[in-house]
C-alpha cells in the first residue's frame, strides 16, 4: 500500500505515515508503541530545590552567581536551575515557578558599586538618630537638600497610538537647560531656587543664607557628598554658626537615602517630562509654577517621605527610627525664588 493510501485509510496526513515507517525501520514494532503525553514525570523541582533557587534569586545578583547577564529573567533563572539542579525547564515552566514564589518582573533601581553598605548601616543606625536627637534638643528643623538639572529634551510617560506605529510628539530641536536647588522637611515645607549658572560654592552659600533668614529656628541641613558640599569655602562659612546652622553629609553614592530625590523625580516627570517648553523662559516659568503648587500642598511633600528607602527620615519621634532602620537594613542585605 502506498503511503498516500495508508494516510487516507487512517485519517492522517502523509507525513505522519512517513514518520511511522521511519520509526518502524529504526526500532521495529517497539518504536510504534504509544507514549504517555503531557509534562514528563520527574522533571519538576523538589521543595528543597525550590527553596534553594528562591533564596539565590532573591539574595544575589546574576553576576554574583557567574551567570552571563545582569538582570533576573526567566531564561537566567532557567539556566541557574540547570546548573544547580540539572533540570532543563522551559521559560513558561520557570515563569510558573516564579509566580508561585511571589517573584514578579519589576524595573530595578540603580545602585552604585562604590556604595559602602557598612557606611549606609552606620548612617541609618547611628549617625542619623544622633542628628535627630540633637536637632530635637536644639529645636531645629532638619532640611534635606539636593540639586537637579532640567533639560529641554527630557521625556517621561507614554502616549497611546496605533499598534506598530510610534506616536510622534512635536517639540523644539533647541537644547537648553536650567537647574534647581531645593530643600524639604518631613513636615511638608519646601524651599527652592532656580538658577542657570553652574553649581558653585558661592551659590550654595547664598541658598543657605536665604534658608537661615527665612527660618526662625536653627537649621540642620543634610545633603549628599557633591564636591561643592565638601569645599573648604563652605566649611569656613559654617564656622562660628553652629547655633544657627549645621551641615551634614550622607554616605557616598547613596542618593536613595535623600528624600529630596523624590521631589526631583516628581518635577522631572510631571513639570518637564509631560510638557514641551519652547524656550528657556517657558521652562523656568513652568518649573517655578509647579514648585509653587507643591509648596501650597504640604501633604504632597510629606508623602515624599513614604518611599521605602527614605521612610526613616519621616519619623517625627526618634523612637520610631530603629524599626524603620531594621526594615531598611533587611532590604540592603538580600529661580532665585526662595519662598515658604
Domains in the chain, CATH or no CATH each:
3-32 (no CATH), 47-100 (no CATH), 117-154+175-333 (3.30.420.10)
> Residues 21-60, buried b or exposed e (16+ Cβ, 10 A)?
eeeeeeeeeeeeeeeeeeeeeeeebeeeebebbbebbeee
| pLDDT score, position 167 | 80
d(CA 186, CA 303): 9
Determine contact, residues 253/220, Cβ cutoff 8 Å. no
| pLDDT score, position 43 | 61
Residue 270: is it exposed, middle or buried by C-beta count within 10 angstroms (0-12/13-18/19+)?
Answer: middle
| pLDDT score, position 127 | 95
| pLDDT score, position 29 | 87
| pLDDT score, position 265 | 92
Residue ranges of alpha helices (H) inside 188-259 are: 201-214, 232-238
- Condensed to tens digits (0 to 9), the pLDDT of residues 66-125 reads 998 889 999 999 999 999 999 989 999 999 999 999 999 988 878 887 899 999 999 999
| pLDDT score, position 340 | 33
Q: In what order do the strands lie in the sheet with 177-184?
A: 190-195, 177-184, 141-151, 219-223, 245-249
Determine contact, residues 295/164, Cβ cutoff 8 Å. no
* 141-151 and 177-184 beta bridge pairing: antiparallel
| pLDDT score, position 299 | 95
d(CA 257, CA 237): 26
Which residue numbers in the chain have pLDDT < 70?
38-43, 157, 273, 316-340
d(CA 127, CA 283): 39
At residue 249, the 3 state secondary structure works out as: strand
SS3 content of the chain, % helix, strand, coil (to 5): 50, 10, 40
Residue in the block written with cell 532543563: 88
pTM above 0.75, yes or no: no
| pLDDT score, position 42 | 53
Q: 159 vs 98, 184, 276, CA distance in Å?
A: 31, 32, 14
Amino acid at each position: 500500500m502506498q503511503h498516500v493510501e495508508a494516510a487516507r485509510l487512517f485519517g492522517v496526513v502523509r507525513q505522519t505515515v512517513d514518520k511511522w515507517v521511519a520509526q518502524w525501520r529504526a526500532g521495529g514494532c517497539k518504536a510504534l508503541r504509544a507514549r504517555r503525553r503531557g509534562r514528563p514525570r520527574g522533571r519538576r523541582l523538589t521543595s528543597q530545590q525550590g527553596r534553594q533557587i528562591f533564596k539565590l534569586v532573591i539574595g544575589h545578583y546574576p553576576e554574583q552567581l557567574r551567570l552571563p547577564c545582569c538582570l533576573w529573567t526567566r531564561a537566567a533563572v532557567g539556566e541557574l536551575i540547570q546548573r544547580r539542579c540539572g533540570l532543563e525547564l522551559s521559560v513558561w515552566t520557570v515563569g510558573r515557578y516564579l509566580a508561585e514564589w511571589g517573584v514578579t518582573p519589576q524595573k530595578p533601581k540603580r545602585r552604585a558599586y562604590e556604595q559602602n553598605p557598612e557606611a549606609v548601616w552606620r548612617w541609618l543606625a547611628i549617625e542619623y538618630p544622633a542628628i535627630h536627637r540633637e536637632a530635637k534638643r536644639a529645636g531645629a528643623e532638619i532640611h534635606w537638600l539636593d540639586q537637579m538639572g532640567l533639560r529641554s529634551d527630557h521625556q517621561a510617560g507614554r502616549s497611546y497610538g496605533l499598534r506598530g506605529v510610534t506616536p510622534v510628539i512635536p517639540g523644539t530641536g533647541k537644547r537648553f537647560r536650567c537647574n534647581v536647588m531645593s530643600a524639604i522637611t518631613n513636615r511638608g515645607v519646601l524651599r527652592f531656587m532656580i538658577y542657570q549658572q553652574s553649581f558653585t560654592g558661592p551659590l550654595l552659600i547664598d541658598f543657605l543664607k536665604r534658608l537661615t533668614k527665612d527660618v526662625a529656628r536653627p537649621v540642620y541641613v543634610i545633603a549628599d557628598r557633591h564636591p561643592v558640599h565638601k569645599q573648604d569655602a563652605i566649611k569656613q562659612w559654617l564656622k562660628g554658626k553652629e547655633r544657627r546652622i549645621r551641615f551634614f553629609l550622607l554616605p557616598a553614592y547613596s542618593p536613595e537615602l535623600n528624600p529630596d530625590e523624590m521631589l526631583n523625580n516628581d518635577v522631572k516627570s510631571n513639570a518637564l517630562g509631560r510638557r514641551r517648553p519652547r524656550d528657556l523662559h517657558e521652562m523656568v516659568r513652568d518649573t517655578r509654577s509647579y514648585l509653587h503648587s507643591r509648596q501650597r500642598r504640604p501633604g504632597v511633600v510629606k508623602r515624599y517621605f513614604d518611599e521605602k528607602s527614605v521612610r526613616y527620615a519621616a519619623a517625627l519621634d526618634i523612637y520610631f527610627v530603629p524599626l524603620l532602620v531594621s526594615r531598611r537594613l533587611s532590604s540592603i542585605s538580600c529661580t532665585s525664588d526662595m519662598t515658604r
